[in-house]
Structure formats: C-alpha cells, structure tokens
Chains A and B, each alone.
Chain A
C-alpha cells in the first residue's frame, strides 16, 4: 500500500490535530453501552479526493485511470535529475471550487511544502503537499440522516498534494514492481473536525461529502478506483470527559467500510479501557474481509517528515477576482436543491434528499417534471423515480446515465396514466418493458393493446355478465357484506386483462350490485 498519503504523524499540523470539536452535545442514541457504563465515540475524517483535471498537479502527464503501467509518467513524475515541478492552475481552481462548495475560507496565499520520506513509489523522496499554509481554511458540511435531524461537521482545512505511485507486490514472489501512473496526480486532503459520533454518522458524512464533490465536478468520487479514500481517526471517552487517545485507520476505500471500521474500532477501544488497559496511539489498517482493524505501526515508528517550503515553487498568490469568478460559476448544491424541491414541488425531506444525492438523479427528476413545459405532477414523478426506476437501475446494476429509459420517456409514461390511457398497474408492466427494450410507453401500449377500457357501456356489459354469472356473491353483497365488491373488481379486471378503468369498474359495480 502506498505511503504517500500517510498522515499518521502530522500531515495536519500539531496545533490542529487535537482540534476541539465544534459539535455541542451528543445524540444519546449514539452512546455505546459498555460493561461499565456509556461511552461516546469521537470521529474525525481525513478524506483524500483525487482532483478532476486533465493533467497532474505539477506535470503535464495524463491523469486517466487504467492505462498501461508507467504509461502516464513525465520526467517530472519519475523525478529525473534536474526536473522541476510547475503548478497546474486547474488543480488550484478545483481546490478553490471545493472550498467554496464547503462554505470554507479561501486562503489567497498558500504554500507548497515538501514532506520527506523514502519509499520506492515516491520517486522524489518527498511528497509535495501543503503543511502550514493550506489553500482552504475552515468550512462545514451539513449531514442528513434518514431518521433524525441533520448535523454539521466542521472542516478544518483542505490542502493540495501529490499522490504517490503504486507498488505492485503480487506479480512475482521476490520482486516489487512500481507503477508511476498515479505519481503526481493531484489530491485534495479534506480534514474534518472530530464532530462525528458514530459509524453511521461517519458513513453519512462521507456520502454527503462525496455528493457535494460530484456536484462541484472536483472529484469523481469513484471509491473503487481509489479516487476517494478516508483516513478515519477514532477515540472513545466517557460522555463529557476530555478526548481520549486516538487511533487512525488508514485508506478506507468505501462508505460501508468506514462504518464497519468505526464500529469495530470503537468496540475494540472500549473493551481495552474497560479491562483497565490504555489505548496506544497508532496507525491501523481495516481488513475488509475480516471486518476488523489491525495495527500497522505505533507512534514511536512514525516518520519525521522534515516538512519545509518547496524551494522549486513560489507561494500560490490568488486574487479575490479569481475566487469570485469561481464562486459565480458554482452549481446549485444538494442542500439548496433539496430545499427548492421541497418548496417548489411539495416533496418531503426524505424524498427530496434521495433525489438530490446525485446530481444526475436531480437533473433527471427535473427533466421528468418539466420536460417541454409538461408540468407533470411532481409527486408522481418522484414516486416513479425513487420507486420503480431506482429498483430497475439497482437490479440491472446501471448508473442513471446508462438508463435505457430517458427522462422524456418516463414523462411520457406518466402522461399516459394522467390522461387515463392506462392504469397505474398496467403502467408498471409497461415501464419494465420500456426498460427492457428502450421503447416509448405509447408504442408499447399501442402494440400490446394495453389501452385502458374507459367506455362505460363496454364495462357495464362485462359487469352485468359477471353479476349474472355469480348470483351467490351478488346476494352476499346485497345482504351487507360489501367487502365482496373487491372480488367482483378482480373478476372484471381478469376479464379485461387489467385494462378496465378501475374507477369506472368500482362505480358501476356499486350501482349494479346495490340496485
């Protein structure tokens, strides 16, 4: 595993490492009941997010994922003698954009430092990072949880740094290969305050952060490809006590694993403390297969990184106009969008949250509601998207961008329900067929003759026939057991292959059975 993003000792300056939490009180539901009483878990995350940019932080080499090993490597990335870094202004722009998206202070002057350590996948022998003067200062993220009030996580800082290359140990037993494709790729390290109190909260924070970065277009959030990974700092204490000794779990690469790692680590620490032991400050790894954390190295083994300002690079001096220009170009972010959906479309908080979590989903939703000024019912559209549409995307393991049903097509289906052409029940079958072969709803209804029967004469004839064929059930109804009406409805639907207009069926049944 790469060591380049190692933050165990002091990637965050000492005076920030023990940053006082800004979170007041705690949610009693989050306390862990031990053998000897309740414990509070204190969590802070350092998230490494790969910056979306064409080229690396200090070289012109491509940042594309998945190239042949060592195919995206410039002379600078390989640290050839005499090579010099040149800052990619696009990465700076993205970091500023991210800072603004997290409501953070932008530092108009920031400095790149060298973090010195030896590792084969770190060609320079140092990582260029930002230590005492990061590009972004304090900000915040509002985190939503399904069943309770949202809470805020403070952001301490965001700094830019280089990624390291990759050591490949598993090709030959006695050899290690180095792939420098990632070497020099721009990362943002986003450091939170220790404002998080449970594994579920940590997962929700990471999910929200990921959502915001994807809205901003500053990180693709692809955790499988390593575009986003988290170092998770965990400590436990008695409610109200001072902070306990923390352990840092490195490089956790999925939202689910963050939750598991925190839950495991909190239990482990509580067990040790309750048995009268003490927590060793150390760096740990999360073993996803076993669902547990393991010691990687102790504080004593920590590196002395010998940070100092990189003399090859000038301090980054931004002017306010540069920042303002980026600010003016920010998209509507998930919180604002959810609030607007609630106000404009009358959606509940939960539905709105589901629809805005991914920018693509929100855009899809708005297209369904408003395509061609159609003005479709927003709640119906929301139900379709969060219901059948999500169900099929999940079942087929598809991203929204790859959906065989476009927003216009889904809108067309909703229109057919609204104007009574098909029933809601038939619509579900039509939708599945649309998803399977990409056809328009209208064509499917036409070809399969699924059009709803709304001719009262036609339905009345069928109703009469069924009542005539089933005198016993009709009598039962008339003797007061009106529940049997449902059975009659079913029979009518069966006779019409579900195409009869259900409202008309019910109305006619009532009239004719009651008459």
Chain B
C-alpha cells in the first residue's frame, strides 16, 4: 500500500469508506509529513489538536453510519486569507499578526460541515498580492520542485502566488487538498508552478463572506488538488449561495464529479489567436499545441477564435484590483484590531501603523489604487479600466457562439527562482497574463498539469468556460488530464 499521503481525495475517501484506515490515521500521516516538510514554509499555523479532534469526530460519524460525504475525514490546508474561528487569520500580513477571528468563513464552514479536517493555515502573498509567494510577512514559501537544469538549477523556486502555500502543501503531499483564492490567477498560476490542479469557479459561485478582501469584484475561492476529480469534489462542498454575500449567486450546486463523463466528442474548444504573444517561450507554445492535439484526438472540435481585447486585460486589471484594494485595506487602521503603532497624534498613528504593518507590494498597490481613484484621474484610469473590462467580457460572450471552452497556457513560464523578478514588478505581473482575462470576465477556469519544461519543471494548461459552466469545464479538464497522463513528482 502506498503512503496515505500519496492518495488523492477520491482514493482516501474510498479507503475511509471501506474502513481500510481511519480519518485519525490519515490525519496523523499528514501531521507527521508536515513536521518533516517545515523547510517549505508552507504552513504558517499548524492546528494539529484541532485536526485530530475533527478526525476523531469524523471517525465517530462514520462508525454511526452518518458520514457526511466524500470529504468526510479528508485533511485540508486552508489559505490564510480565510477567516477561521479562533485560529490565526492574517492574510500573510504583519498588520493582522495574531488576529484570530470570532467567526468562520462561509466556505470553510461548508467544508467542515462536509466533514473535512483542518490541518492548518497556509502561507500566501500578503493580502493575496503577488505571484510568487514572496511578499508574505512570514517569509517565502518554497516550491517542492527543483529544476534539473538551466538557470534555476540548484536554487529554491517560488511556488507561484498568491496561493503559494496551498499549492506547495498539496504538491509536497502535506495536505490532501487546499483552499485558495484567485483574483487574477492566484490559484491557477501556483497550481501550474507546482504541478497540481488549480480551479477558480465563476465569480459568485462561492461566498466571499469571511474571506479577507483584496479586490472584491474579482476575488473568488477555489480548490487546489492533485486531480480534476478532487477539485470537483472540493468545489461541490465550497460552492453555494450565501445570503451574507450580495454578490453570491442563487443557483443550485450540481454534482460536479457526475459531469466528468470522459466524453468530449463534439465539444468545441476555442483557441484564441491573441494568446500567441511575442516572447512566449517555444516550450509553452509546444505544450499548448500538444494540448490542442490531445483534445482533438479525444473527439473535440478545435475552433480558432479571437478575443481582441486580451492585451488590455493585464493593464486594466492592475488598475481595478489596486483601486478596490486601496479601499478594502483602509479598515486596517490600528483602531480596532491587529497591529497598532502609537504615534504623536491620530494621523501619525495611522501612518506608522500602516507603514509598519503593510509590506512593500501592498503599499505599492494601495498607492496605485489611491491614485487611480483620485479626483481628476478617476475617468482616465478607473472608469476606462472598467470599460475595458466590459469589452473583455463581451469578447468572451461573442466567443461562446463558436466554442464551448477555451484552451490556453496557464503561465508564460515555469516556476522561477526565489529572488527573481523582485526588482521588476512588471515582470512579476506578467505571470498572470493568461489568467487575468478570465478573472476580469468573472469566468470559471482551471489549470491542469500537462507536462514538464526542458528544465524538468511542471507546466499547466488552462481551460476557461462560460459563466457557471463548471460542469463543462470539469468534463474537458478531466479528459485533458487523462490524455496528459502527468505523473511526475517533485
């Protein structure tokens, strides 16, 4: 028998159901693996006592024949952006250091209601702002993968971000699955960098209540897992209407795993011309072509499509997201909770608290956001960016006339070494070039591990579906995953 931590969620669920092992045994296996992998800095708060007691409760339910479903007894890592009752919830920021809220986010509560076990809180870029998990107050998280050759060989690599701790923990098998949040690619890009599945549902599919806000009109929770099926299982528990979030959508949550029929014959797969960008490495182009071929071989119809406003997505994103962030982060003022650095007077206290509490990248985005909303600049920046956003959404709407899903690369490169792109925010922002358009349009998208780079690092392919087209997305992703046959390990 393989190690318990090698199992997928679906496999572990079957083992628990058949009585092959208990939830407590499974949890203990993860807790001990976590101890051995602390150098990754994936967890910033381990909750072993809570994990064991949740596992014991799961075993007790199962003994009574009252197991809650496929996630009952499954140990998960939770991104530090989710508020978890009585447990550190700091968004990776000094300003919320030690903050343990008296409430539980809707998404995590639904996971616990489904029987899942919390292993702890995982690292992330501060307030989810970053693509390399290097902006956390708790230091960088490492990618468990190492480059076999090339510039990055022998160096510690980034796991991607902002859900870097989530991706690293799953890839290193110190969590069966993890929650993440995706604002411009924060689930999908680290998923690709760490060789796992990362899925962002439609905006409004999961409640944002209790998730520390970065950019409210873009933030969306989603799963990071080993397999597409695991992602479907997790999303089934995470999704749903929440009256406490006015932007959550009141639609029934389908059985996503049931949608994974393995049959994509006749499915129209769009390939957008504008994603063929100058400077994209050849191996990324090749991987993309391989993905196209595999889907065609599985019976899909490949359609050339155009998303003309693609190139404006990234610049518009870096106006809209900082604008919302500048306002969302105004509540961290040292008055009610979190860090307070006393100053000479009120203004001085605000300034010292926020200067010390926020890292450079957060300060940079707060300043950008403040600037683009200022009197005299609002029309030229924020309003124009919102118009671009409408155009991007229109592009996708038009594309759905001729295709059912869209296939692109997830990232323009494999994981890079820690320390790279640190002095060049634009280079860092370009990590999200393929993931941001779907975020701007609020569409569901998934990154599936598809192969290795020349240096032996994982690369992902990215599928996008129409709003609330998660079933189609999982169906196509499942077929792509099978065809890719990705079984490499860090």
Contacts and interface: CB of A to CB of B under 8 A. Distances in A.
B331 interface: yes
A82 B247 contact: no
Interface string B305-334: 000000000000000000110110111010
B246 A86 contact: yes
Interface string B79-110: 00011000001010000100101110100000
Interface stretch (A72-80, A95-103, A144-152, A256-264): A72-80
B335 interface: yes
A81 B212 contact: yes
Interface in B375-400: 375, 378, 382
Contact of B212 (A82, A120, A308): A82
Contacts of A244: none
Contact of B105 (A82, A306, A307): A82
A226 interface: no
A91 to B, nearest CB: 14
A80 B382 contact: no
Nearest to B82: A82
A81 B83 contact: yes
Interface stretch (B38-46, B55-63, B203-211, B450-458): B203-211
Nearest to A167: B346
Contacts of B213: 81-82, 312
Main secondary structure of the interface of B (DSSP, over half): loop
B245 A124 contact: no
A312 B335 contact: no
B246 A312 contact: yes
B327 A306 contact: yes
Contacts of B289: none
A308 B213 CA distance: 16
B327 A114 contact: yes
A364 interface: no
**Chain B interface extent, by class:** 35 or more
Nearest to B81: A82
A124 B330 contact: yes
Contacts of A84: 208-209, 244-246
Interface in A55-106: 75, 78-87
Contact of A80 (B82, B101, B211): B101
Contacts of A116: 326-327, 330, 373
B336 interface: yes
B254 interface: no
A87 B244 CA distance: 10
A311 B215 CA distance: 8
B327 A126 contact: yes
Nearest to A312: B216
Interface string B382-424: 1000000000000000000000000000000000000000000
A313 interface: yes
Contact of B330 (A82, A87, A126): A126
Interface residues of A, number: 28
A80 B103 contact: yes
Given A125-B330, A125-B333, A81 B91 contact: yes
Nearest to B218: A311
B331 A125 contact: yes
Interface in B92-138: 96, 99, 101-103, 105
Contacts of A396: none
A312 B216 CA distance: 6
Contacts of B99: 81
A314 B247 CA distance: 7
Given A81-B91, A116-B330, A304-B374, A123 B247 contact: no
A178 B327 contact: no
Interface string A483-495: 0000000000000
A82 to B, nearest CB: 4
Interface string A306-335: 111001111000000000000000000000
A167 to B, nearest CB: 10
A350 interface: no
A4 to B, nearest CB: 14
A78 B331 CA distance: 9
A286 to B, nearest CB: 24
A472 B485 CA distance: 135
B202 to A, nearest CB: 15
Give the most central of A84, A123, A314: most B CB within 10 Å.
Answer: A84
Nearest to A313: B246
Given A80-B101, A80-B103, A308 B246 contact: no
Contacts of A78: 336
Contacts of B245: 84, 86
Contact of B83 (A82, A306, A307): A82
Contacts of B323: 308
- Which are the 8 A-B pairs with shortest beta-carbon distances? A125-B330, A306-B373, A311-B217, A311-B216, A79-B331, A82-B210, A81-B212, A82-B83
Given A81-B96, A313-B247, 18 more contacts: A80-B101, A80-B336, A81-B101, A81-B213, A82-B209, A82-B210, A82-B213, A84-B209, A84-B244, A118-B330, A118-B350, A123-B336, A125-B333, A304-B374, A304-B375, A308-B327, A312-B216, A312-B247
Interface of B: 82-83, 89, 91, 96, 99, 101-103, 105, 208-213, 215-217, 243-247, 323-324, 326-327, 329-331, 333, 335-337, 346, 350, 370, 373-375, 378, 382
26 contacts: A80-B336, A81-B99, A81-B212, A82-B101, A83-B209, A84-B209, A84-B245, A84-B246, A86-B243, A87-B246, A114-B327, A116-B330, A116-B373, A118-B330, A118-B333, A123-B335, A124-B331, A125-B333, A306-B327, A306-B378, A307-B373, A308-B373, A308-B378, A311-B324, A312-B216, A312-B247
Interface of A: 75, 78-87, 114, 116, 118, 120, 123-126, 178, 304, 306-308, 311-314
